[in-house]
């Protein structure tokens, strides 16, 4: 067993240590400091107690749960005993109560009958959809054979009309029975297939489109069927409960006093059993707790109340005092209520002045040579710093010199927070704090105590860990307290989360002033409905045909929403074309190369074809397609690893991600897989 070394660890980050670290390059210094800070917070003996002996806290929760249930049963039993006479007097109206229950049962039976019919109909519809899908698959295969026969006929008829490469393509298709869907358009639009084959091609594409629609419809019906089945189970449970209640009521009417005495006896028996389980759990807690203390040469002291023993321990044995206090604090964390809010933390300071450096900010790494695993919140020197959640202090590096000062708190549900560049700390080590409690004052002004040598000015450096892993603090904070226009382009999720947080907090959607321009929005309850809205509202001319986008995307196994969003990002879905029908700007570059297409179908298919060429076949992540995406995910740039669809380092990726998130109805991550799962 490792010995407790909390006091020793405090000296690890002594002033001499900081001087040595910051004497090296800033990037290396920051990386070294980050590593030491992590070891301090999560790998020291005291910080590891909750992980190494986690059973003690799990058992504590179980014990409290059993105790609470027992208390509830006791109250219920006492209520039955005290109100027995009142209840018995009310049962004189039993016959009327029975009639009401019987009427309720009739209504529930009718509802169950209706739900059963709806469920049966949906099941039939699902089976019919599945048959249609199988039939469409058969038709596609049959049509594929006909197309192959047609190509073979064209070949035998005479291939002198084609050059050597074209003849090889036909031979490869006919002799090897390859998948023809990805080359049909090329053959047709380049004149390799005669007009006689047009109907066969259209029929093949129609089948593919119908298959996509049927699959989406099948998925929706399965979801609806699951909902009805769930409702049916609930109603059947209601019926069962009502019947059981009616039966109990009838029994009570036959022998009222005896029945109530039985109920009271059952409650008392259950209550006593739960008390026994609670006692067993308490015994286990004491055994594990005593084991922890014994291994460190300590004895248990109750920290829930003041005592002479506690005071003497604080004076004479700091190690055992801290160990007992941590055990008590961890129990407090485990007893706290789980916060199920989407944004469980409040802001440690008012963010009205904005964020000066974001999580994994590329500008920070460029200047200082290290990742920024935090956000820097601008705030005046000496601003009150408040705890974003309840928790307790696990580390303090005080602002006694100009070196970097920071404070760390441990919270419920696996969260840990760190606050840097502090000018004042108003809490003590292992002190429990409530949400919103002032824990110190911000700093960061150059030359002041606690600012550190790399501070750029007054602000608070705010880090958040979840289960010992860095997370973006903005994932757990309400972003609607920031200014929408101050948010960066990447990651795109920031602006999307702002809109969601704003609506949740204010109850209505964010409407920007006229000077801020319009916010991109799509209308519809499903992805298909939102696709239709996108194309109808934004697409120009012959591009205003959603089915055309879907058909061409499916030919190349690309998510249709991705193809649409690329078209929107590149040319506004055809409103801002550089060359004829080139909706995806395929082949257009700064050298002056320009490519034009003959119609909208060719232009859309060019996007799909490009995503399936030899440079992109091994790529599935959308952030790999552009310079901006690679920067957002910390990947090699388009210059370091060429062959980006869009080299643009700023706008392309956030625009595509924003469009995709609105179509999907959720925040789409930077590494989204743009290929359909086969």
What is the number of structural domains in the chain? Answer: 3
Residue 482's pLDDT band (cuts 50, 70, 90): very high
Is there a single domain that holds both residue 100 and residue 222? yes
The answer on pLDDT for 88 being more than 70 is: no
Is there a single domain that holds both residue 237 and residue 358? no
Domain boundary among 473, 505, 533: 473
Determine what percent of the chain is predicted with pLDDT higher than 70.
Answer: 76
Q: Tell me the sheet residues that pair with 419.
A: 407, 462
Indicate the DSSP class of residue 599: S
Query: Would you give the distance in Å from CA 74 to the centre of its chain?
Result: 41
CA dihedral for 465, 469, 472, 476, sign (positive or negative): negative
Q: Is 175 exposed, middle or buried (0-12, 13-18, 19+ CB in 10 A)?
A: exposed
Residue 359 lies inside a defined structural domain of this protein: yes
Max CA distance (Å), the chain = 106
488-502 tens-digit pLDDT: 888 888 988 999 999
The answer on pLDDT for 159 being more than 60 is: no
Pick the more confident residue, 275 or 566: 566
Is there a single domain that holds both residue 520 and residue 652? yes
Residue 394 lies inside a defined structural domain of this protein: yes
DSSP 475-513: GSS-GGGS-GGGS-SSSTHHHHHHHHHHHHHHSS-----
Residue 96's pLDDT band (cuts 50, 70, 90): low
CA distance 493 to 495: 6
CA distance 361 to 395: 26
Instruction: Report strand pairing: 406-410 vs 384-386.
Output: unpaired
Question: Residue 384: helix, strand or coil by DSSP?
Answer: strand
Question: Residue 5: helix, strand or coil by DSSP?
Answer: coil
Is there a single domain that holds both residue 417 and residue 529? no
CA distance 475 to 138: 47
368-380 tens-digit pLDDT: 878 899 999 999 9
Is there a single domain that holds both residue 560 and residue 448? no
354-412 tens-digit pLDDT: 999 999 888 887 788 788 999 999 999 999 999 999 999 999 999 999 899 999 999 98
Is there a single domain that holds both residue 469 and residue 598? no
Is there a single domain that holds both residue 469 and residue 529? no
**The token pair that represents 4 in the structure block:** 């407790």
* Least confident window among 124-128, 336-340, 573-577: 336-340
Is there a single domain that holds both residue 447 and residue 518? no
Residue 460's pLDDT band (cuts 50, 70, 90): very high
Mean pLDDT of the chain, nearest integer:
79
| Mean pLDDT across 600-611 | 94
Residue 167's pLDDT band (cuts 50, 70, 90): very low
Are the beta carbons of 351 and 487 closer than 8 angstroms? Answer: no
For helices 546-555 and 560-571, give the axis angle rounded to 10 degrees: 110
Tally Cβ neighbours within 10 Å of residue 1: 9
pLDDT at 363 (0 to 100): 82
| Mean pLDDT across 169-190 | 53
Domain region containing 234: 94-253
CA distance 580 to 597: 6
* Least confident window among 179-183, 318-322, 362-366, 482-486: 179-183
> Helix/strand/coil (H, E, C) string of 427-458?
CCCCCEECCCCEEEEEECCCCCCCCCCCCCCC
CA distance 626 to 610: 14
Strand ranges, E, within 343-414: 355-357, 375-378, 384-386, 391-397, 406-410
Indicate the DSSP class of residue 422: E
Are the beta carbons of 343 and 478 closer than 8 angstroms? Answer: yes
Pick the more confident residue, 669 or 118: 669
CA distance 232 to 499: 37
Domain boundary among 232, 253, 274: 253
CA distance 574 to 645: 18
Is there a single domain that holds both residue 521 and residue 454? no
Are the beta carbons of 389 and 345 closer than 8 angstroms? Answer: yes
Residue 101's pLDDT band (cuts 50, 70, 90): low
Residue 578 lies inside a defined structural domain of this protein: yes
Q: Tell me the sheet residues that pair with 385.
A: 440
% helix, strand, coil for the chain, step of 5: 60, 10, 35
Please name which of 664, 595, 669 lies closest in space to residue 632, comparing C-alpha atoms. 669
Helix (H) or strand (E) holding 469: strand 469-471
CA distance 549 to 560: 6
Domain boundary among 452, 473, 494: 473
Determine what percent of the chain is predicted with pLDDT higher than 90.
Answer: 32
563-605 tens-digit pLDDT: 999 999 999 999 999 899 999 999 877 677 788 999 999 999 9
Cα→Cα distances 342→268, 475, 497, 501, Å: 40, 9, 11, 9
CA distance 118 to 476: 41
Q: What are phi and psi of 127, to 5 degrees?
A: -65, -40
pLDDT at 175 (0 to 100): 45
Residues in contact with 240: Cβ distance below 8 Å, sequence separation at least 6, in sequence order: none
* Owner of token pair 């060719």: 602
Indicate the DSSP class of residue 625: G
Residues in contact with 205: Cβ distance below 8 Å, sequence separation at least 6, in sequence order: 184, 551, 555
Residues in contact with 547: Cβ distance below 8 Å, sequence separation at least 6, in sequence order: 209
pLDDT at 109 (0 to 100): 72
DSSP 525-594: SSHHHHHHHHHHHH--GGG--HHHHHHHHHHTTB-HHHHHHHHHHHHTTTTT-SSTT-TT-TT--TTS--
Residue 90's pLDDT band (cuts 50, 70, 90): low
Residue 113 lies inside a defined structural domain of this protein: yes
Helix (H) or strand (E) holding 417: strand 415-420
Tally Cβ neighbours within 10 Å of residue 153: 12
**The token pair that represents 154 in the structure block:** 């064209």
Residue 601 lies inside a defined structural domain of this protein: yes
Residue 485 lies inside a defined structural domain of this protein: no
pLDDT at 127 (0 to 100): 81
Is there a single domain that holds both residue 601 and residue 524? yes
Residue 186's pLDDT band (cuts 50, 70, 90): low
464-478 tens-digit pLDDT: 999 889 999 999 999
Is there a single domain that holds both residue 100 and residue 239? yes
Which CATH number does the domain housing residue 457 bear?
2.70.70.10
pLDDT at 4 (0 to 100): 33
17-72 tens-digit pLDDT: 443 443 346 667 777 788 888 777 776 655 555 554 445 555 666 666 667 776 77
| Mean pLDDT across 636-657 | 85
pLDDT at 573 (0 to 100): 94
Is there a single domain that holds both residue 445 and residue 531? no
Residue 17 lies inside a defined structural domain of this protein: no
First-to-final CA distance of the chain: 52
Tally Cβ neighbours within 10 Å of residue 226: 11
pLDDT at 3 (0 to 100): 36
Residue 486 lies inside a defined structural domain of this protein: no
């Amino acid at each position: 067993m490792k010995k407790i070394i909390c006091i020793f660890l405090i000296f690890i980050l002594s002033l001499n240590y900081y001087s040595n670290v910051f004497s090296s390059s800033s990037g290396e210094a920051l990386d070294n400091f980050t590593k030491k800070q992590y070891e301090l917070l999560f790998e020291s003996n005291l910080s590891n107690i909750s992980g190494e002996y986690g059973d003690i806290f799990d058992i504590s929760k179980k014990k409290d749960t059993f105790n609470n249930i027992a208390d509830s049963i006791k109250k219920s039993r006492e209520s039955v005993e005290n109100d027995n006479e009142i209840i018995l007097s009310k049962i004189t109206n039993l016959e009327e109560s029975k009639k009401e229950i019987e009427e309720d049962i009739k209504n529930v039976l009718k509802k169950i009958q209706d739900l059963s019919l709806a469920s049966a109909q949906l099941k039939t519809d699902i089976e019919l959809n599945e048959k249609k899908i199988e039939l469409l698959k058969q038709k596609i295969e049959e049509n594929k054979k006909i197309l192959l026969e047609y190509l073979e006929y064209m070949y035998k008829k005479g291939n002198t009309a084609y050059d050597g490469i074209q003849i090889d393509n036909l031979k490869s298709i006919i002799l090897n029975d390859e998948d023809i869907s990805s080359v049909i358009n090329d053959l047709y639009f380049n004149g390799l297939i005669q007009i006689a084959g047009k109907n066969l091609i259209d029929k093949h594409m129609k089948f593919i489109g119908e298959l996509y629609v049927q699959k989406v419809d099948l998925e929706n019906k399965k979801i609806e069927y699951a909902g009805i089945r769930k409702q049916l189970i609930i109603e059947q449970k209601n019926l069962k409960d009502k019947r059981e209640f009616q039966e109990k009521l009838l029994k009570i009417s036959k022998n009222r006093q005896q029945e109530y005495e039985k109920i009271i006896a059952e409650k008392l028996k259950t209550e006593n059993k739960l008390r026994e389980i609670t006692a067993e759990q308490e015994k286990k807690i004491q055994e594990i707790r005593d084991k922890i203390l014994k291994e460190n040469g300590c004895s248990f002291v109750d920290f829930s109340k003041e005592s002479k023993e506690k005071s003497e321990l604080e004076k004479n044995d700091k190690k055992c005092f801290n160990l007992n206090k941590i055990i008590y604090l961890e129990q407090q964390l485990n007893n706290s209520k789980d916060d199920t809010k989407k944004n469980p933390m409040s802001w440690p300071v008012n963010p009205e002045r904005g964020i000066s450096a974001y999580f994994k900010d590329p500008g920070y790494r460029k200047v200082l040579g290290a990742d920024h695993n935090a956000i820097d919140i601008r705030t005046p020197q000496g601003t009150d710093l408040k705890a974003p959640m309840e928790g307790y202090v696990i580390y303090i590096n005080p602002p006694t010199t100009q070196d970097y000062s920071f404070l760390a708190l441990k919270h419920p549900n696996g969260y840990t927070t760190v606050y840097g560049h502090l000018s004042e700390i108003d809490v003590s080590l292992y002190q429990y704090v409530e949400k919103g409690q002032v824990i110190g004052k911000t700093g960061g002004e150059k030359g002041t105590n606690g600012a550190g040598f790399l501070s750029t000015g007054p602000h608070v450096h705010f880090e958040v860990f979840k289960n010992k892993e860095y997370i973006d603090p903005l994932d757990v904070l309400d972003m609607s307290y920031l200014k929408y226009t101050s948010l960066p382009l990447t990651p795109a999720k920031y602006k999307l989360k702002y809109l969601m947080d704003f609506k949740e907090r204010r109850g209505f959607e964010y409407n920007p002033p006229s000077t801020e321009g319009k916010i991109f929005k799509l209308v519809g309850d499903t992805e298909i409905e939102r696709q239709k809205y996108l194309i109808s509202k934004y697409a120009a001319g012959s591009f205003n045909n959603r089915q055309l986008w879907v058909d061409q995307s499916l030919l190349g196994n690309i998510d249709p929403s991705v193809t649409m969003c690329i078209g929107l990002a590149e040319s506004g879905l055809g409103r801002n074309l550089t060359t004829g029908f080139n909706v995806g700007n395929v082949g257009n570059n700064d050298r002056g190369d320009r490519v034009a297409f003959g119609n909208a179908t060719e232009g859309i298919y060019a996007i799909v074809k490009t995503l399936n060429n030899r440079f992109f076949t091994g790529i599935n992540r959308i952030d790999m397609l552009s310079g901006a995406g690679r920067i957002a995910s910390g990947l090699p740039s388009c210059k370091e690893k060429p062959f980006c669809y869009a080299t643009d380092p700023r706008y392309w990726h956030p625009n595509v991600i924003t469009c995709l998130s609105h179509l999907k109805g959720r925040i789409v991550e930077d590494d989204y897989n743009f290929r359909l799962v086969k």
